[in-house]
Amino acid sequence: MAEMMMQLGAYQFGLSTAAYQELTRAAEYRWAAQSRIGAGDALQFVGPGGETVELRGVIFPAWRGGTGQLDRMRAQASLGVPMPLVAASGGVLGLWVVESVREGQRVFARGGTPRRQEFDLRLRRYDGGLRALLPF
């Protein structure tokens, strides 16, 4: 699908659903420090640390997709299972878990239905010992 931006598990981010305007990806790398007398600490690389992705975007429910999109994100996150994250190019970015879903609402229609929903989604890479077995 040409308008898909990314897919997390069964949920697709795209122009007709939740389009994110900002993607932030951060990776940590762990270094252990050993104190030395008369010199600076000796550092030793002990492996990769955590990796996170944050998506910030806007949903216009009246335009496309309806008001239940954030509920679907939360429902999928509440399953408590790692999910594959796939880029629009088809590249698999590994298994990820949802740490948080934040929602803001603005511009309301009759009955309090939001016309604009903003979201922040925080993902963390899952490394349950399977990383060496997976091709990503």
Residue 1, pLDDT score: 45
CB-neighbour burial class of residue 127 (10 A; exposed 0-12, middle 13-18, buried 19+): middle
Q: What is the mean pLDDT of each run of 10 residues along the chain (136 residues)?
A: 81 85 94 95 94 92 78 90 92 94 87 86 85 50
Residue 134, pLDDT score: 54
With a CB cutoff of 8 Å and minimum separation 6, the contacts of 70 are 18, 59, 101, 103, 117, 119
Residue 97, pLDDT score: 96
Residue 132, pLDDT score: 45
Longest CA–CA span in the chain (Å) reads 71
With a CB cutoff of 8 Å and minimum separation 6, the contacts of 108 are 114, 115
Residue 100, pLDDT score: 94
| Domains delineated in the chain | 4-125 (2.40.30.200)
